[in-house]
Structure 1
């Protein structure tokens, strides 16, 4: 629990710092000479994305979990990872864009199991679950009016992902293995800033993804049977260059 809290505090600190820098930079650019003055008149823009994610689970326990014989508690432990993607942006209107940003997401999520030993919750095991997702997100982007070389924006959209290293179909001869479904989907919301530089547009963004699919694969081992549902919960701090 302390590891999980420490990781979340570090992530929150980074996000607050990025927002603080972005806001102060925006005020500094109000009276600046406009860079890329015709940029927003173009129908399409392309670029690339690099990002840092914090992947976690939302756990729903089985109804009779409290009466389980051997497992006392199951807790998710989020871990950090990174994303690499390609940006395709289509202008819909003055303040509206449609964005398709397929990316590779390298992430890890841990599950911490606490077992009963002689009637007391003493033994703890952590199961690491690594994933490499090929994601296909589609987002609607609403932008504020441009002020100097700056815009603020919000996004909302949906995402479908395929775990390229899913072990769902692997024969589970190793009791350490926790299987997940290969495909995931859900919705996301985000907020960010567009900074118009001399040669390109730079955009830091914070996005939260909530998975709607139950990722727990059918498996008779105790590590899976103690859980009813596993849903994705991911935070992404990204930087796009367009």
Structure 2
């Protein structure tokens, strides 16, 4: 979160400086594009997700190795007034996270511990449904900063929730359905033919996503009280 808000401060400072520097009126592109009650678009982007863990006992942290994932989706925008829009952004989010377990989690493990026991690859493919409120500033020539906040629900197609095998057979399982809240910001750039919008936002799971192993003493799941996704989306939108 501190990186998100630090970036927010930098972008806001740059935007304010540019507004002061270029406050002279310029020819505005796409003057009527924001007047439509309904408008449509699409986005492409990247994500970087990890997990937040809440533990039952202090046995050390499970380390999450993150990688860059991919986002793609559509946008449906409902205009409320000049400063408020309601947005539905259904899309597909693909991500992978590797979990590295401390060796002391396996102190009471009956079998010999191998490197594969200490590592779990968590591949996630979310069908994502965010409902967001976009709060915009006054348009400054051909740019308009905004913030986003809202909630989302997702279906994890790679969850393994119904898989009868668990970590004892090498299968890490998550719940199929997840809920999130989101907070971010972006800037609309009004170009000659379309509106281009880069944005960044943090996503934070509201529910526990872990499916426990059958063995209540499982070294992979017994010490986890709660496991929740968190991360950053960077999207580029065309409308």
Give the TM bin, normalised by the shorter chain.
Answer: 0.7 to 0.9
Query: Of residues 23, 30, 54 in structure 2, which corresponds to 1:60?
Result: 54
Task: Give me the whole-angstrom Cα distance separating, in 1, the residues matched to 2:106 and 2:42.
Answer: 55
* Total equivalences in the alignment: 225
Specify the alignment match of 1:197 in structure 2: 191
Change (3 A) 1:117 1:237: closer
Secondary structure in 2 aligned to 1:216? coil
**Larger displacement relative to structure 2 (145-154 or 221-230):** 221-230
Separation (CA, whole Å) in 1 of partners of 2:60 and 2:147: 41
In proportion to residue count, which structure has more strand? 1
| Contact 1:163–1:182 (CA under 8 A) maintained in structure 2 | yes
Tell me which residue corresponds to 1:5.
none
Q: In structure 2, list runs of 5 or more residues that go unmatched.
A: 108-112
The answer for the alignment partner of 1:76 in structure 2 is: 64
Question: Is residue 159 from structure 1 mapped to residue 152 from structure 2 by the alignment?
Answer: yes
Match of 1:87 in 2: 75
CA contact (8 A) 1:211 1:233 kept: yes
Instruction: Structure 1 unaligned segments of length 5 or more: list them.
Output: 1-7
Native 8 Å contact 1:73 1:115 kept in 2: no
Which residue in the other structure is 1:4 paired with? none
Q: TM-score, normalised by structure 1?
A: 0.82
Decide which moves more: 76-85 or 50-59: 76-85
User: Which moves more between the two structures, 220-229 or 160-169?
Assistant: 220-229
1:78 deviation in Å?
A: 2.6
1:225 pairs with 2:222: yes
Using a 3 Å threshold, how does the CA distance of structure 1 residues 229 and 201 change in structure 2: closer, same or farther?
same
Match of 1:99 in 2: 87
Residue of structure 2 equivalent to 1:238: 235
- Give the distance between the partners of 1:87 and 1:114, measured in 2 at CA: 42
Match status 1:126 vs 2:123: no
Residue 35 of structure 1 aligns with which residue? 29
Corresponding position of 1:179: 173
Partner of 1:3: none
3-state DSSP of counterpart to 1:219: coil
By how many angstroms is 1:55 displaced?
0.5
| TM-score under structure 2 length normalisation | 0.83
Cα deviation digits, residues 19-64 of structure 1 (max 9, x gap): 49974776776543110011111111101011110011000112xx
Kindly state the Cα deviation for residue 171 of structure 1 after the two structures are TM-superposed. Answer: 2.1
